[in-house]
């Protein structure tokens, strides 16, 4: 069991938690992720590591309440426990050698981008950060980014906070103004990441994106997180989740991410694995 050491509500749908997991904290690096289960009947949900504290053995996660598992987790309080917290999984971000970087986060993707911004700052890289949200009410991590960014640009779709417009518009403005980056990291919705790549590719700026395909086991066995990178099949869980944005087949990624849209919308949908677990539990009780 893994204890919740700290809990912070960032907005109505986004929560930050620090989970006591000393082994994961000792090994976890930016770009890697964990998989949690709230209880024995819960789904396996992957979440990017948002930070580690080796001294107190905690791992930070930031998640949006979008389904049953994340809703159950959000209802947990400090001092309570969850069943599983497995990691670190995936490959760490490759940030070495960057002298001038731009970290771009969209929506909850800002939480995934944050540890990369921290790591770049700590290694002496000059870091510009562009983060975007639909409106002022869902802005998160502004103060945290402000501590590690040389320049922080807050964008909102409706102009209710910061500058009006998308993160890609700000990146385009900076590039046109003569800013020269040797690394861009873009994390957020697939269309946003693709739009960033479309801007950086002509200038040859190394661009990393973090992919979020459907994932089950996190060890490469299920094949659910298959993505096309440079025309070859890769597994986001073991080969990524970060990849060279120039090589990502975004059309294939979008198509695969929509594989179970109808089932997700069905109100009476029940996971077969969950039903099997309930049946097994019932037999044990008998």
Checking if the pLDDT of 230 tops 70, the result is yes
pLDDT, residue 273, reads: 46
pLDDT digits over 206-222, tens only? Answer: 999 998 877 777 777 87
- Residue 161, CA distances (Å) to 131, 154, 164, 221 in order: 11, 7, 7, 44
pLDDT digits over 159-176, tens only? Answer: 999 999 999 999 999 999
pLDDT, residue 117, reads: 94
More confident residue, 167 or 43: 167
Which of 89, 122, 152 is where one domain is finished? 89
Share the mean pLDDT of the chain: 87
Q: Let me know: does 65 contact 74? Beta carbons within 8 Å.
A: yes
Helices (H), the chain: 22-27, 68-74, 109-122, 142-146, 167-176, 190-200, 236-239, 250-257, 261-265, 272-285
Residues 181 and 228 in one domain: yes
Question: Pick from 17, 14, 19: which is nearest to 2 by CA?
Answer: 19
**Residue that has been written with the tokens 């964990």 in this structure:** 34
Question: Does some domain include residue 128?
Answer: yes
In total, how many domains does the chain have? 2
pLDDT, residue 41, reads: 86
The three-class DSSP label of residue 147 is coil
Question: Does some domain include residue 237?
Answer: yes
Question: Pick from 174, 196, 172: which is nearest to 246 by CA?
Answer: 196
Dihedral angle sign, alpha carbons of residues 85, 24, 108, 262? negative
DSSP state of 271: -
Domain range holding 49?
2-89
Residues 146 and 227 in one domain: yes
Question: Does some domain include residue 28?
Answer: yes
Contacts of 284 (CB under 8 A, 6+ apart): none
CATH at residue 108: 3.40.50.80
Residues 38 and 110 in one domain: no
pLDDT digits over 251-285, tens only? Answer: 888 887 776 556 555 544 555 544 554 455 555 55
More confident residue, 264 or 96: 96
The pTM score is: 0.83
Confidence of residue 42 (pLDDT cuts 50, 70, 90): confident
Confidence of residue 144 (pLDDT cuts 50, 70, 90): very high
pLDDT, residue 253, reads: 86
Q: Let me know: does 248 contact 212? Beta carbons within 8 Å.
A: no
Residues 111 and 247 in one domain: yes
pLDDT digits over 104-135, tens only? Answer: 999 888 888 999 999 999 999 999 999 999 99
Instruction: Give the number of C-alpha atoms closer than 13 A to the C-alpha of residue 169, restricted to the C-beta side.
Output: 9
pLDDT, residue 65, reads: 87
pLDDT, residue 150, reads: 95
Peptide bond into 241 cis (omega under 30): yes
Question: Does some domain include residue 109?
Answer: yes
Residues 33 and 152 in one domain: no
Q: Let me know: does 83 contact 74? Beta carbons within 8 Å.
A: no
Residues 138 and 235 in one domain: yes
Checking if the pLDDT of 184 tops 90, the result is yes
DSSP state of 40: T
Residues 85 and 124 in one domain: no
Question: Does some domain include residue 111?
Answer: yes
């Amino acid at each position: 069991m893994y204890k919740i050491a700290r809990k912070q509500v960032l907005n109505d749908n986004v929560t930050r938690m620090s989970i006591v997991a000393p082994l994961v904290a000792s090994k976890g690096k930016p770009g890697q992720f964990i998989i949690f289960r709230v209880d024995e009947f819960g789904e396996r949900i992957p979440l990017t590591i948002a930070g580690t504290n080796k001294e107190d053995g905690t791992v930070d996660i930031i998640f949006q309440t979008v389904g049953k598992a994340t809703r159950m987790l959000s209802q947990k309080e400090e001092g309570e426990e969850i069943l599983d917290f497995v990691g670190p999984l995936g490959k760490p971000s490759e940030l070495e050698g960057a002298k001038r970087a731009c970290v771009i986060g969209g929506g909850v993707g800002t939480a995934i981008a944050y540890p990369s911004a921290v790591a770049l700052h700590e290694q002496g890289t000059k870091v510009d950060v562009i983060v975007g949200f639909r409106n002022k009410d869902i802005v998160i991590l502004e103060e945290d980014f402000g501590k590690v960014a040389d320049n922080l640009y807050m964008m909102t779709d409706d102009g209710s906070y910061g500058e009006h417009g998308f993160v890609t518009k700000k990146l385009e403005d900076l590039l046109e103004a003569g800013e020269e980056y040797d690394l861009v990291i873009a994390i957020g919705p697939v269309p946003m990441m693709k739009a960033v790549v479309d801007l950086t590719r002509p200038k040859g700026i190394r661009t990393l994106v973090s992919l979020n395909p459907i994932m089950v086991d996190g060890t490469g066995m299920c094949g659910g997180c298959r993505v096309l990178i440079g025309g070859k099949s890769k597994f986001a869980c073991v080969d990524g989740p970060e990849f060279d944005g120039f090589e990502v087949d975004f059309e294939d990624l979008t198509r695969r991410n929509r594989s179970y849209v109808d089932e997700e919308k069905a109100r009476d949908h029940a996971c077969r694995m969950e039903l099997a677990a309930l049946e097994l539990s019932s037999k044990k009780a008998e």
